[in-house]
Structure formats: structure tokens, C-alpha cells
A and B are shown apart, each in its own frame.
Chain A
């Protein structure tokens, strides 16, 4: 994590770097921290590009931007070959477009925004030809993008005059900003920070006016980007400085200078209304405006005017309530005003980006896919957090960046668990609160035929049978029937995986001569049995087949999960369950499908 201190001696702008303990989330200063920016620069804000390779620091004292490369193994900041780039007057808030191509800087004192192109290889900044863009009045120390990157918002402090928020559209190919009609939009008296929720529906702006006690909420028009005040806005959240939303969009946090407190709010997902969670949490000399929720959404860090001045809290994922992280407050410079977090791969290269599915029921087995880096063959996975650890079985490293494992969750207590991956060499990584065990659950299997409804006479046409498990546990063996017209010239199903063959796919297809159930022609129908040994929770499997017809007639094809036809098929399911279970035991690598 990186922090900018706004009150350091002689205005030397510098960035403080910290490692985040993966278990406790405590902050430890990096050995070479702090990293100098610009002499007398007075640091205001820091931004990190989406690849976590470059960091940029705004210097309001010297009207420029410092650029750094991030050492991927140590986290150290290394000045770029061209260390500073000219900005407008009083650069404060800064942000990088979702594409990572463009950097924007609020120039508070000349009411503009500087836009730069970021060289993807070197991190070098080149100011856009149309930059600076008119903005303000007094664009403040924060920026926010909508999740699709199409719109960009800047709070305007206006120093006691009517506050507002400016809105722009962003040209993804050129980075040009175009002010939206009606912008700036009125809001409060001294707007400080701005945040857009991950769904892109809501925009919140903190008001730092001396007598203000509010956060202004808006609904964003998804097509125009225009913000419209939410009913009930402004919300009484306390005098607003820092403002942050968790990555899942459930909680909003405000940092209040007058009351020296951090407040937590639930966001109503449909209305955007804010509901306070418990009492505010006291922070000595709080309200420095620095605030950030970590990428996992489990922790929030805030700055204060005291030294040490960075407080850390664990976020209860159900209620939004906060618990102080042991060791908090952590060492800092004077008045940390801006934070940014880079996710580095680490020296072992072992990392977890996300798991799928992120939740599963305790009524069965759940097969999980873990996406990250550095996974080694022989890696093990377990769920930890409370109660007994739950070991994953049939763990398979599909690729150094992906592994799959299955958890038997029957009877396990519901709740949030950490996912721990341990490599064969003993290195380990923990994805905190990455998986939620739900009560109950069931597979929910559906089928669909994907294909055109017109085919050309005499030509082969591909179709796909799609099998989906939307449920919260794996399906177990399932029998399906594909019913094709008997008067097709030909119908092709991919070569059947035989019980002794190379079962490399996630499902088996038994088109012919397996057990006692052949493909059969009855009347106008050709019936093809399809067995899937298992369909993982919240996953799908797609099977290609082809048809050719010479008759210019309408024909019907059907796909059915046998259990829904009649009780008769339930009986077949049971027969095939035993067959498929036997086959799955012989081909464990193919016994599960892959979560998506």
C-alpha cells in the first residue's frame, strides 16, 4: 500500500510504502520508504495503473506529477527516467482510466484537468493534445470512473462557494474528456471526494464544508452519465472528507473531520439509500481524507492528523461493522491524504486473484476453480476461518494460473471462509474471506440448444447442447437425452469417450453401445443418451453436434434432462448414476466440470 502525506516538512512530496501482512493485514513500512517525489512539491494524491507497474504522485507545490515504476518483487518505487511531468496549477486528485492508457489530474487553482497518455512499456506520460480540459470550479482531491470507464466524475470544492460535481464522458480510444450537458451538477458547499458504486448506478460525493454533515447521492443515467439526485439526498453521514465504497458495492465509508470518526453505511442496492451501521468509530484527530478499501473488500484503511496516522479495520462482510486490526494505528508521515494499493505477485509468484464460485451450499460437494499465479503441480487447497479446516480433494493444477479442487461441504457450518493454497515447495497464499458457505442448496440443472433455426440444405451445420448447473452444489451424475429427427441425412456427435478411452473432457458422451442403452430410432426420433459424471456448481458444459438435411422441411430437435420427463427417467437416472460414478472413479480428472 502506498500513502501520500500532505504535511511533511518543507513540503517535500513523498510516498510511504507498506507491505500488507497477508494474514493480519497489518501495515509494515517497506525498508526504503518513504520514496521522494518533488522537493517542495507538497504531495496530494497517488494513483497506480491497473497493471500495478507504475505509480503517479501529484505535487501541488511544484505543479507537476512524479512518475515511478513499481518493483514487482519489493514494492519499491523507482523514479521513471523522466521523473516529473508538467501539470496545471495546484494538481490534486488523480486517477487512471480503466484501460490503463490515460492519467487525469485535477488542477485545483486553474480549473482544469490535465490528461496524459501512459506509455504501456515505460510508464512515460505524454500530455494529450487537447489537454488541459476545462473543469471546476476548483476541482478537488479525488476522481471516479464508472465501472465501464465511459464516464468520469470530479468533485469541485469551490472553497466555500456552492459545491458541485463535474461529469465527463471519456473517449476510450483517445482519452479525450467531454463535459456532459448540465455539468457541473450542484452538490453541497465544499466537495471533497467522490465514489461510484461497482454497479455503476450510484455516485456519492462527500461534502467537507465547515457546517456540512452530508454525503450527496446521485443515480447515474447509464446511457448519458448524467447524475440525478437520489430521493433523500443529501444523507446525514457526518462532515465528509474521505469517502470509499467496498468492491462489492455493499458498504460505504465516510471519514469525518469534525467528529474524528469513521462511519459505515449499508448501500441499498436498488435505491442507493444509505443506512448507518452502528455508531461511528472514533479516530484520534481523524479526517485527513485518506481512505481506501482493499481489493478483497475485507479491510478499510483511513488516515488521521495524528502520528502514527493510518488506522486499519476489518469489515464484517455481513453487517458492515468494523473491527480494529491489531497493531493499528500504523506508522505514517504527517497527514496521510491519499492511499493506493498495488497487488504484486510476490517473490514466490504465488497469488490468488479470485475463486469461482465464490459461494456454495453445505448440502453437497462444491468444485471450485482458483485463478491466480504460481500454482505448482501437487498444490493443496483448504478452507479455513472457523471450525475445522476443510481440505479440497481431487485438486488439479490445470495451468500455473488455474487450479481446481472439490470440497465436501455436507454438514459444514455456514459462514465466510478463507481459501488457502499451499504449493509443493511449502509456499502458501491466503485469499481471505474468498468463499462463503451457505446453508442447504441444491443443483439446478438446465439445458439449452444453441444453434441457428435455419440450416442450408445439403451442408453440415454445427449446433451445441449446453448444460448448465445454476445451483449452489455440484450436480453429481446426470443423464440427458438428445432427440434428433430420424430423417436427418446425418447427425454427428463427437467421438464417444469410452469407459477405457481417454476421457479428457469434463463430460462423457455415450452415443452408442455403452451398457445396455443404445442410441435408438423410434418413429420420427433418433435418441442419443448423454451422461455427465458431474456438473460443478454454477458451471456449464457445451457439447457440439452437427446435422445435415436434404429435405426442405421443418424439423424438431429436443434436449432434455431425464429427471424432468417422468418418474420413469428418475429410475434411469439411478441406473446411470451408478454407471457414471464407476466411470468417474476411473477417470477422476474428468469427474467434474469447471466452474465459470
Chain B
């Protein structure tokens, strides 16, 4: 009874950034139904249940709406099939929005693509060069990704290239062609220039073929190289990271387009709005709001504490700015919110909620 009276008398325990406490002062039923958060039955998945789930999942996945690129955890890309195209291209993280926002801490994956013209001779010697911007990129974090020539693929070790020094591989094209494509990839740490060099090699002699028309990349064939690299630690939100490569087909340079991303290193902020110190119903509507510098605010986690107990999840990943909460009369509740932005930066509580 003492506890109840204490709760009914409810003192404001203070608003602290994104925290807020208040006390329910009276009994009342809640008829709202907008805070649905249904727990899933996770017990004993059976094959039949899996089949049902699969069908539901496939149904969901078959809908473009379900897969819209509204977060970085799903992404879509339109591809146009055409008769002719620019043979060289570059692609990187799709990021979020038109500025292709990406988080600052994670690696950024890039691919450079090259295609030999279908009317051209076979290419003997191809160099791909990408001058990395040392002002915005952490050169030591660069790791080579898969490399492909025609139908062949090489996967370098997942080790920083600055530690490896360089990476070399022979791509055996036999029996389709009696050739080896010899690859050497290196990073000039002083200039930041990343290079892949493919040479045509006669397997019998270990030397370039004497036939000038023999080359490892056949007309119409394609190749690609990939790598990942991180932005420099502490890169400011809004920092543009651009990549542009050059492909040298037997010495003839062809530039790729520019691919850019924008770094978002700033976590969003949010706070729970003030509530009355006493509520006359057990059903009430906490509100919260937030903001973000960079990609923008995606959603909130809202946590609740009952009678000064530990905070626990109430709403996870809600995009709403308020929701109906059903409490119990005589209890004191505290709320706080944590915001997440569209690249995954999550607000850090400034300090633990006051109890």
C-alpha cells in the first residue's frame, strides 16, 4: 500500500535528454491497439511450418515493395540489357539516398569492370589503375576482393594489401585458350595508386606469346576487379569519397565514370517528450522525437522502466513518434529513446537513466 501511495503521489524523477519518468495516478482501461508487437512462436520448427514460412517469405520477397531500398540491409539495382555500352565501369556501395550515404566505420566495397569490344582483337595486356584518395581513405585497410577474367575467378587472401606488399596469381585459361593471364596487383602507399596488371603468358615458354593477335581477353569477354577499403577514422560527416579508375587496354587508357559516396559518422539524437507527472488513465501515449545530421533518421528503439526497475525494450525499430502504452495503476514508468539513422548509426545514451 505504501508503494501504491508512493506511486500515486508520483514525483517527477526528471527528464534527462532522452529519458522521461512519470507515474500513473489512476486506474483506467486501455482500449487502444496500436502498439502491437506480436511475439513469434519459435518452438519446434517443423518441416511443415518451414514450408509455410517459406511460402510466406517468398510471397513477401516477390513484392518489390517489400524489398525497396529503404535501408542498407536491403538493396535493389536496375539493370538494362543493351547491344552496346561503355566497356569500362565502376561501382561501389549503393549507400542510402541520392548522396549514397555510408557509415564511417565499415569497409566500402568497390568493383571495376572492363569489357573487350566484341569487334576488337584479343587484349594482351590490361592495366587497371585506381588512384585512391589518401586524404579520405585509410590505405592500410585496403583488401583485394575477387578478380575475374572471363569465366575464371581468383580470390586473394583477405589480408590488407599493405601487409602483403603485392598479390600475384596465374589464371590458367586452358583449355579454352592456350594462355595464362598473369596478374600482379600492388598498392603504392606513398601515392595511393592501386594497380592490377594482367599480362598474357604462353604456358610453354613463360613469356608473352609471339603471336601478336593472341591475348587473354577475347572479343566481347569481360573482367572485373574488386577491393574494399575504409574511410579514414574520424572522417567528418559529409565527407565525399570518390573513386575513378582507368583501364589501359594494351596501353590505351579509358577512364571509368566516377563513383561517389558520402560518409555519415554522426549518430542521431532523440529524446522522449515531457509527460504529466500523473496520468489519470492507465493508457497513455508517450511521444519522442529525434534528428540526424547526414543520412537521416530511420527509426527508434523505445525502452521502458517500471517502478524504477531496469529499462527493457518496449518498441524496437519503430518509425512512429508516439505509441499507446498500457500501464498499471499505481506504477511509475520511465521511458527513453534511442534513434538509428539510415546507415545504421545508433544514438548512444549520454548516461544511464536516472532511477
Contact surface of A with B, Cβ cutoff 8 Å = 97-100, 147-149, 172, 199-200, 222, 248, 269-270, 353-354, 356, 369, 371, 398-399, 401-402, 442, 444-457, 459-462, 464, 466, 468-472, 481, 483, 494, 505-506, 516-517, 520, 522-525, 527, 538-540, 542-544, 547, 549-572, 574-575, 593-594, 596
Contacts and interface: CB of A to CB of B under 8 A. Distances in A.
B32 interface: no
A6 B234 CA distance: 39
Identify which of A468, A520, A564 gathers the most chain B CB atoms within 10 Å of its CB. A468
A449 B94 contact: yes
Interface string B133-171: 011000011010110100101010111100110000000
B61 A560 contact: yes
Contacts of B224: 462, 464
B228 A571 contact: no
Given A99-B190, A356-B141, A369-B159, A454 B79 contact: yes
B163 A199 contact: no
A464 B107 contact: no
Contacts of B94: 448-449
Interface stretch (B82-90, B122-130, B246-254, B278-286): B82-90
Contact of A596 (B93, B153, B228): B228
A539 B72 CA distance: 15
20 contacts: A98-B189, A149-B191, A369-B158, A401-B159, A447-B72, A450-B226, A452-B113, A453-B91, A462-B222, A468-B109, A470-B103, A483-B61, A517-B50, A553-B81, A554-B78, A557-B77, A558-B64, A560-B74, A572-B57, A596-B228
B226 A464 contact: yes
B184 to A, nearest CB: 18
B71 interface: yes
Nearest to A459: B220
Interface of B: 38, 40, 42, 45, 47, 50-51, 53-54, 56-62, 64, 66-67, 71-86, 89, 91-95, 103, 105-111, 113, 115, 118, 134-135, 140-141, 143, 145-146, 148, 151, 153, 155, 157-160, 163-164, 189-192, 220-224, 226, 228-230, 232-234, 236, 343-344, 346
A393 to B, nearest CB: 19
Contacts of B78: 453, 554-556
B84 A456 contact: yes
Given A466-B109, A552-B82, A568-B60, A199 B232 contact: yes
Given A516-B47, A539-B107, A371 B115 contact: no
Contacts of A555: 78-81
Nearest to B235: A199
Contacts of B344: 444, 446, 470-471
A450 B222 CA distance: 15
B146 A568 contact: no
A483 B76 CA distance: 9
Given A457-B83, A468-B107, A596-B160, A564 B77 contact: no
Contact of A540 (B83, B107, B118): B107
B141 A523 contact: no
SS of B interface (majority): mixed
A388 B46 CA distance: 44
Contacts of B56: 568
A596 B61 contact: no
Contacts of B38: 567
A447 B163 contact: no
Nearest to B233: A248
Nearest to B236: A270
A450 B111 contact: yes
A455 B81 contact: yes
Question: 3 smallest A-B Cβ distances: which pairs?
Answer: A470-B106, A594-B158, A446-B72
Contacts of B135: 147-148, 200, 222
B62 A538 contact: no
Contacts of A442: 346
Contacts of A554: 78-80
Contact of A561 (B73, B113, B229): B73
Contact of B82 (A454, A505, A565): A454
A575 B50 contact: yes
Contacts of A369: 158-159
A558 B106 contact: no
Nearest to A575: B45
Given A522-B59, A596-B230, A464 B109 contact: yes
Nearest to B317: A564
B342 to A, nearest CB: 10
B146 A544 contact: yes
Nearest to B71: A564
Contacts of B86: 454
A549 B81 contact: yes
A508 B323 CA distance: 41
Most buried by B among A98, A147, A470, A505: A470
A450 B109 contact: yes
Contact of B53 (A538, A556, A572): A572
A556 B66 CA distance: 13
A359 B343 CA distance: 20
Nearest to B86: A454
Contacts of A99: 190-191
Contacts of A401: 159, 163-164
A466 B40 CA distance: 30
Contacts of B58: 520, 522, 527
A564 B73 contact: yes
Contacts of B223: 462
A106 B263 CA distance: 40
A444 B159 CA distance: 21
B135 to A, nearest CB: 6
A321 to B, nearest CB: 21
Contacts of A248: 233
Contacts of B54: 516-517, 520
Contacts of A566: 57, 60, 66
Given A523-B62, A554-B79, A555-B79, A452 B91 contact: yes
B93 A557 contact: no
Nearest to A555: B79
Contact of A199 (B108, B140, B234, B346): B234
B42 A574 contact: yes
Contact of A452 (B89, B141, B234): B89
